[in-house]
Amino acid sequence: MDAADSSTTHIVIFSWLAFGHLLPALDLAERLASRGHRVSFVSTPRNISRLPPVAPALAPLIDFVALPFPRVEGLPEGAESTNDVPFDKFDLHRKAFNGLAAPFSAFLDAACAADGGGRRKPDWVLVDFIHHWVAAAALERNLPCAMLVTFAAGLMAPLGRPV
């Protein structure tokens, strides 16, 4: 199947900037691509460069979308992943992360405008737990959005109500 085939489902995945989230999201992207779906995997340049390579047969179906990580005073240069951030600077990392809202919206605008010419606008947006602004961006563009929760069930269970 051609990666630009307009009959394939196009899924945008935007994971939290921690490798415990990025790696499972990449695995999901590969599994979706193995079923013929096109995936736009959104992250930052440094995080994308540190991901393991995608299987060559799946690479044509996975587009890596690098959003420039905003500079925040006090945050170490190149601190795009939580692995790069000292604990006392975590608030600055989250502040920089929230600065990705406008570039992400611009990406969605471009992706939605690309409908046709063999490219397909996104059918779904899968978002991680901390991306409070992604659902609004998807809703503004009439794109279905689902939360991808990579936590263990035991951690999430206390948050639910008994049935």
pTM greater than 0.75: yes
Distance (Å, rounded) from C-alpha 47 to C-alpha 26? 12
Task: From first to last of the 163 residues of the chain, give the pLDDT tens digit.
Answer: 444 455 689 999 999 999 999 999 999 999 999 999 999 999 999 999 999 999 999 999 999 999 999 999 999 999 999 999 999 999 999 999 999 999 999 999 999 987 555 568 999 999 987 788 998 999 999 999 998 776 666 665 666 655 4
Asked if 104 contacts 67 with a C-beta cutoff of 8 angstroms, the reply is: yes
* Dihedral pair phi/psi, residue 41, rounded to 5°: -100, 110
Structure tokens at 143: 């794109």
Residue 65 gets the label, from left (phi > 0), alpha (psi -120 to 50) or beta, of beta
Domain ranges in the chain?
10-159
> Hey, which CATH number is domain 10-159, 3.40.50.2000, 3.30.70.980, 3.40.50.2300, 3.90.1150.10?
3.40.50.2000
Phi/psi at 110 (5° precision): -65, -40
Residues carrying an active site annotation? 21, 128
